[in-house]
Chain A
Amino acid sequence: NAGVTQTPKFQVLKTGQSMTLQCAQDMNHNSMYWYRQDPGMGLRLIYYSASEGTTDKGEVPNGYNVSRLNKREFSLRLESAAPSQTSVYFCAINRRSFNSPLHFGNGTRLTVT
């Protein structure tokens, strides 16, 4: 998935620990998104950023914070991880156009014990 880089690829946390998931893009797109994917639940939007300096809540924002550092980078922070946050997290981007397809990174697989 050229253009969207997520780090780390894998992470194991203990309950209560914090971490930041990083997403960077080199496609010069305005909009960036964080999704989580869980078996049987499909993809759910956590937060999104329509442009640099703006962020908005998605469907499941509780327990997360985000930061749109600049046009290229959008980070997702878990302040106090919980087992319910065990999931695969995907960053996605698109142009600021409703006709633009969504491009995804390869994901971060997070396990909280």
Chain B
Amino acid sequence: KQEVTQIPAALSVPEGENLVLNCSFTDSAIYNLQWFRQDPGKGLTSLLLIQSSQREQTSGRLNASLDKSSGRSTLYIAASQPGDSATYLCAVRLITQGGSEKLVFGKGTKLTVNP
């Protein structure tokens, strides 16, 4: 059974710091991996999607990497800002034997960026 783990559960950093959020998964047979941001009381916003054949994706100050063989992904946030404070979740997409898809989510890392 695929399990997705995000450590740490919470992280607090001063403004301007570069930081890395971690996501690990137990089964490397994934189709892709997606990083989301969730603000309090809101839904999830898609940040980056990395295909299983890719090593990384970049969007602005965000860079996500994927190492399928070791079952790891990282989300790098450069020059963090207080507006980056949110919970960050990763999810892996699996394709079942029947051809349908399934997403397995981690429980998230709550990031606080202090001014």
State whether these chains interact.
yes
| Known pairs A43-B89, A99-B32; A104 contacts B44 (CB<8 A) | yes
Looking at A45, A98, A103, the one whose CB has the most chain B CB atoms below 10 A away is A98
Q: A42-B106, A42-B107 are in contact. List 17 more A-B contacts (CB 8 A).
A: A1-B42, A1-B45, A4-B43, A41-B107, A42-B105, A90-B43, A98-B93, A98-B101, A99-B32, A99-B51, A102-B36, A102-B44, A102-B46, A102-B91, A105-B43, A106-B41, A107-B43
Residues of A59-113 contacting chain B, CB below 8 A: 90, 92, 98-99, 101-107
By Cβ-Cβ distance, the 9 closest A-B pairs, closest first, are A104-B43, A101-B46, A43-B105, A42-B107, A104-B44, A106-B43, A1-B43, A101-B49, A42-B105
Query: B20 interface residue, CB < 8 Å from A?
Result: no
| B interface size (C-beta, 8 A) | 24
Query: A13 interface residue, CB < 8 Å from B?
Result: no
Choice from B36, B95, B107 contacting A40 with Cβ under 8 Å: B107
- Which size class do A's interface residues fall under? 20 to 34
Main secondary structure of the interface of B (DSSP, over half): strand
A98 touches B34 (CB 8 A): no
Chain A residues with Cβ below 8 Å from B102 are 45
| Known pairs A43-B89, A98-B31, A98-B101; A104 contacts B49 (CB<8 A) | no
Smallest CB gap from B35: residue in A: A101
> Closest CB of chain A to B36's CB: distance in Å?
8
Q: How far is the CA of A7 from the CA of B23 in the complex (A)?
A: 32
Residues of B64-115 contacting chain A, CB below 8 A: 89, 91, 93, 95, 100-103, 105-108
Q: How far is the CA of A56 from the CA of B56 in the complex (A)?
A: 33
B32 touches A98 (CB 8 A): yes
A101 touches B42 (CB 8 A): no
